[in-house]
Amino acid sequence: MELRELGKKDGAGHQPRICLGKASDTLASVCLTAPDKTGDLRDQSLQILNAIEEYFQSVGSSRKQILMVQVWLFDISEYPAFCELWNEWIDPEGVPALSVVTGHAARRDCAVEIRAYAAC
């Protein structure tokens, strides 16, 4: 089984060594924050969701094949705004399991962090 990787972080300074995503022949996973953290929750979420879609497409999957998504919101009061965006973005024919919780990312400028798993 071949594993494909998306973006490694080398662990410089006080950062962990990580891979942003991996895919096998049957499953892909990715966990991201927005590359540009100057925007609000909607902007950061769209950046992440679109990057997730691009990654899944690059490994032979799609938005419709997402199995499960975990979301960490810096401010849980923004849950309704996230849900509105999510419902606009997700394919209604391929709705995955979704978990949304509050949590602070290591970087305080992250409004949201999203992990997604998809079938390949």
- Tell me the pLDDT of the chain (120 aa) as tens digits: 676 666 665 656 656 565 667 677 889 999 999 999 999 999 999 999 999 999 999 999 999 999 999 999 999 999 999 999 999 999 999 899 999 999 876 677 899 999 999 999
pLDDT score at 11: 59
Helices (H), the chain: 41-58, 79-89
pLDDT score at 67: 95
pLDDT score at 45: 97
Cα distances (angstroms) measured from residue 3 to each of 14, 22, 84, 108: 27, 7, 34, 32
pLDDT score at 5: 66
Spatial separation of the C-alpha atoms in residues 111 and 93, rounded to whole Å: 28
Give pTM, 2 decimals. Answer: 0.87
Give the HSE-up count for residue 40: Cα atoms under 13 Å, Cβ half-sphere. Answer: 6
pLDDT score at 88: 96
Count of helix runs (H) and strand runs (E) in the chain: 2, 6
pLDDT score at 96: 96
